């Protein structure tokens, strides 16, 4: 168990627990404020993230930033963003269950150190791992679940919204629900 972000970050960057370490350029630990009350969790780094060492910096990330801005959230100020797996799966395939299993302790430690009040899962992989394994993202995105004293919501993955822009209004609706919940239970996000 790591007691500080420095210990966690260093150990995570040296991780060789699964085969993804062989093809990575960077370990993508996370980005944002370490005392944020709101944590976003994606699936895993893509090509741009792998090259730059930061989550959600490609096209999907730009859309995510836009929607965040619309509800006064900012990765450099009042949220933290991490992924289920910290290294890029080749060809952006889904991370395998065993890769997720090997990696999940890093995320658990991040949650322990941060103690967020709200966790937002971006897409099916993160929501299935964090909220419940049989989650139906198309039906259950935007709903609140409570687990271990943390409010959790699944959102559509921004890459899915880019693939089908008709989903934009319902995706944005979830950000409004998030803003309402922040106003209700958070004390230093806004
Ligand atoms: N998609 C994700 O799920 N995470 C990233 O960091 C980038 C794209």
3-state helix, strand, coil in the chain (%, to 5): 45, 15, 40
> 56 CB under 6 A from ligand 1?
yes
Ligand 1 centroid – CA 55 distance (Å): 6
Ligand 1 centroid – CA 176 distance (Å): 21
One pLDDT digit (tens) per residue for the chain, 190 residues = 899 999 999 999 999 999 999 999 999 999 999 999 999 999 999 999 999 999 999 999 999 999 999 999 999 999 999 999 999 999 999 999 999 999 999 999 999 999 999 999 999 999 999 999 999 999 999 999 999 999 999 999 999 999 999 999 999 999 999 999 999 999 999 9
> 43 CB under 6 A from ligand 1?
yes
The residue to which tokens 């890029």 are assigned: 88
Distance CA 40, CA 121 (A): 6
- Strands in 20-111 per DSSP E: 31-32, 38-42, 80-83
Ligand 1 centroid – CA 43 distance (Å): 6
| Domain made up of 5-184: CATH architecture | 3-Layer(aba) Sandwich (3.40)
Global model pTM greater than 0.95: yes
Collect all residues with Cβ–Cβ distance below 8 Å to 162 and sequence separation of at least 6: 59, 60, 63
Structure confidence at residue 1 (pLDDT): 80
Q: Answer whether 122's CB lies under 8 Å from 40's CB.
A: yes
pLDDT in tens, 105-150: 999 999 999 999 999 999 999 999 999 999 999 999 999 999 999 9
Name 152's bridge partners. Answer: 119, 145
Distance CA 145, CA 150 (A): 8
> 84 CB under 6 A from ligand 1?
no
Ligand 1 centroid – CA 1 distance (Å): 26
3-class secondary structure, 52: helix
Helix axes 59-70, 168-185, angle to 10 degrees: 50
Ligand 1 centroid – CA 60 distance (Å): 8
Residue to substitute in 44, 52, 65 for testing ligand 1 pocket (most ligand atoms within 8 angstroms of CB) = 44
């Amino acid at each position: 168990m790591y007691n500080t972000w420095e210990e966690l970050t260093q150990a995570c960057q040296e991780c060789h627990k699964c085969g993804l370490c062989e093809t990575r350029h960077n370990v993508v630990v996370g980005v944002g404020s370490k005392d944020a009350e709101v944590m976003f969790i994606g699936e895993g780094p893509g090509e741009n993230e792998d090259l730059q060492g930061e989550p959600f910096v490609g096209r999907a990330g730009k859309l995510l930033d836009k929607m965040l801005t619309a509800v006064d959230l900012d990765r450099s100020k009042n949220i933290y963003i991490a992924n289920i797996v910290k290294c890029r799966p080749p060809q952006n395939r889904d991370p395998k269950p065993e890769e997720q299993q090997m990696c999940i302790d890093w995320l658990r430690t991040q949650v322990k150190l941060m103690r967020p009040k709200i966790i937002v899962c971006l897409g099916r992989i993160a929501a299935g791992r964090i909220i419940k394994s049989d989650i139906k993202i198309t039906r259950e995105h935007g709903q609140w679940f409570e687990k271990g004293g943390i409010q959790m919501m699944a959102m559509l993955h921004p890459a899915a919204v880019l693939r089908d822009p008709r989903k934009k209004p319902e995706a944005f609706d979830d950000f409004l629900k998030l803003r309402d919940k922040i106003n209700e239970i958070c004390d230093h996000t806004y």
